[in-house]
Structure 1
């Protein structure tokens, strides 16, 4: 699930494996000169969850916290 937050674009997702869903997020920042989105942070696995929706919500929360701590 992708959404914009502050000067970032967040892609929150889950990876289904072994009956669990692993939360993940990628965070992009737009380069002002080119307008291209540049990846600035990849979370890796953020924990496993029983439901896809729970994993995505966890990835969103992690990404928002990261953005808050790293915004200009």
Structure 2
């Protein structure tokens, strides 16, 4: 799932492997000069979940907290 939050773009797409969904998120910011998306943070695996929806929710929570806590 991709969405914008504050001045960031977040990709909270889980990895589906062997029946488990691994929560992970990538956070991007637009380069003001080129408009290109530049990755600023990658969560790594945030744990495994029994459903896609649970993994997405965990990744979204992590990403929003990171965005709120960073000066950006």
TM-score range, shorter chain: over 0.9
Task: Give, in whole Å, the separation in 2 of the partners of 1:42 and 1:20.
Answer: 20
Structure 1 segments (4+ residues) deviating >4 Å: none
Query: Is 1:27 equivalent to 2:27 in the alignment?
Result: yes
Q: CA RMSD in A?
A: 0.9
| Secondary structure in 1 matching 2:25 | strand
TM-score by length of 2: 0.94
Task: Give, in whole Å, the separation in 2 of the partners of 1:71 and 1:63.
Answer: 14
Unaligned segments of structure 2, at least 5 residues: none
| Equivalent position of 1:46 in the other structure | 46
Higher strand share: 1
| Secondary structure in 1 matching 2:12 | strand
Q: Is the contact made by 1:7 and 1:71 (CA closer than 8 Å) also made in structure 2?
A: no
Aligned residues: 72
Unaligned segments of structure 1, at least 5 residues: none
